Structure 1
């Protein structure tokens, strides 16, 4: 989601250096806007629909590569790197399994997790 903002904003930005106004808008300005909106939508998809995270991650990586050509070198590499990292995290992330613990009543108070008596915490100082 963070990658979409610089890719949408920077190509339409007008910078001022003294009396000189520099406009970065190119003929592909609409393409930058579309790529930025799609990156934000894919970020929201990864967030709210984790089962489609691999598709959204791959699509994010592809849009990051396209943004290099379309929107001023991926909005001066900032948007490109954010999209690339976000897409890679989306592809590699997997939701964890919920931890289910037994209630304390069903196992003994001194028993370990498997029901066996708990082992001493450290070496014993008592001589036999």
Structure 2
């Protein structure tokens, strides 16, 4: 116990490493970054219409009639982000819905949360649509393990 730094507990590093490893495995099996970008897109879209910003003594109020639309769009984007984490089967639907909501936020919600929400939403929706649950190595191994296909009326097996 003398050689341990102050404040460390025995086995703490092992528990932290195990937690990081489990999180990395969990993150790898779903469109994690797409969901995170969707969550980040919803935050500024909700935030900016309800806050009063002061820039060098000049009050900038972005609260317009877009407040209700901003709230609905932001909450839906955040819901889609969480959905991508826990129901990755709907990734294409969530990606397309996120892209459409993000594009709708540009005219309806103060330029899509002053362009922050717009950019995060476009990236998140694109990542959700592009995410593939099957890594290329596993797909290559799967197709290599398939037996050759025989075509009726030919001389022998055909290649994959």
Length-normalised TM-score, structure 1: 0.72
Q: Which is higher, the Rg of structure 1 or of structure 2?
A: 1
Structure 2 residue aligned with 1:85: 123
Structure 2 residue aligned with 1:72: 110
Q: Name structure 1 gaps, 5 residues minimum.
A: 100-128
Aligned residues: 99
Task: Pick one of 28, 38, 63 that aligns with 1:25.
Answer: 63
- State the alpha-carbon separation in 2 of the partners of residues 63 and 94 from structure 1: 22
Length-normalised TM-score, structure 2: 0.58
Q: Structure 1 segments of 4 or more deviating over 3 A?
A: 17-20
What SS is found at the alignment partner of 1:16? strand
Greater share of residues in helix: 2
Task: Pick one of 38, 44, 55 that aligns with 1:6.
Answer: 44
CA drift at 1:41 = 0.2
- State the alpha-carbon separation in 1 of the partners of residues 82 and 51 from structure 2: 25
Q: Does 1:34 align with 2:34?
A: no
Describe the superposition over 1:38-62 as per-residue Cα deviations: whole angstroms up to 9, x where unpaired.
0000011111101000000000000
Residues 88 and 18 of structure 1: CA distance in aligned 2, closer, same or farther (over 3 Å): closer
Structure 2 residue aligned with 1:63: 101
Describe the superposition over 1:45-84 as per-residue Cα deviations: whole angstroms up to 9, x where unpaired.
1111010000000000000100001111101111001000
CA drift at 1:19 = 4.5
- State the alpha-carbon separation in 1 of the partners of residues 91 and 98 from structure 2: 10
